[in-house]
Amino acid sequence: MNKLKGRTALITGASRGIGRAIAERFAAEGANVAINYTNNREAAQEVLEAVSAHGGKAAIYQADVADESATDAMIEAAIATFGQIDILVNNAGLGSAAINRPAIADATNEQWSTLLNVNLWGPIYLCRKLVPHMRRAPRSDVLMLSSIAAQSLNPGFGVYAVSKAALEAMAHTLAREEKASGMRVNIIAPGLVDTDMGRRIVAATSGGASITDMQANLPFGFVCTPDDIAATALHLCSEDGRYITNRRITISGD
């Protein structure tokens, strides 16, 4: 249970869903965790307590990743608290529901900016500020949480798909640029996951059905959980994944 002992991860959007599952799984394997959240401090505090129960160091940081100055301040504070940070998980994101799923030709500049500022510029700000620091570590890892939407390219999800496709392009390039510094950069692209976002997608695209109603038609007969994603994140960032970089792992059961 010590696959990440001695390492420190900064995880964005860690107060719920996939981010929370990764934070708790990493802590269970010995990692220290910097927990980022945007609005829900109470939820972040719950994650802090769950992470601290594993015995590692943990702290919460409020910052909207779309705000560069707030992101920079969070990173500086986390480095002051933890010292070396050697894992960055770019998980925070907004889905298509946040902009009411417009068609590409109908999306306004504001709708484009809403998703791109969080899903693309947020990771850009984090990498620009944190990657130079992470180069000092013997090994470091960057995980980008993408989506199967960047592959399926379905109507109504176009703006979201573009934001995630751009994120993936950045990740692949960063992996090549930073290999010499011992940094691994990988992408996890989930399909439908039992999260708040997943439930909203199902309700909006299936006439109000619940996510559990979908199970019989899904691969293996159940919905992917945040813990399933966290297990892959752990594999990639541990010694089990030491020879894996520049990969996109799609987790959809297909």
Q: Which long-range contacts (CB under 8 A, 24 or more apart) does 176-179 make?
A: 176/246, 178/131, 178/135, 178/142, 179/245, 179/246
**Which residues face 250 on adjacent strands?**
189
The string over 184-221, giving b where at least 16 C-beta atoms fall within 10 Å of a residue's C-beta and e elsewhere, is: bbbbbbbbbbbbebbbebbeeeeeeeebeebeeebeee
Told to judge if 125 belongs to the known catalytic residues of this protein, a careful annotator would answer: no
Pick the closest to residue 132 from 84, 191, 201 (CA basis). 84
DSSP H or E segment with residue 111: helix 109-116
Residue 28 to residue 42: CA distance in whole angstroms: 21
In the set 37, 61, 160, 243, the catalytic residue is: 160
Q: Among all residues, which ones are annotated catalytic?
A: 160
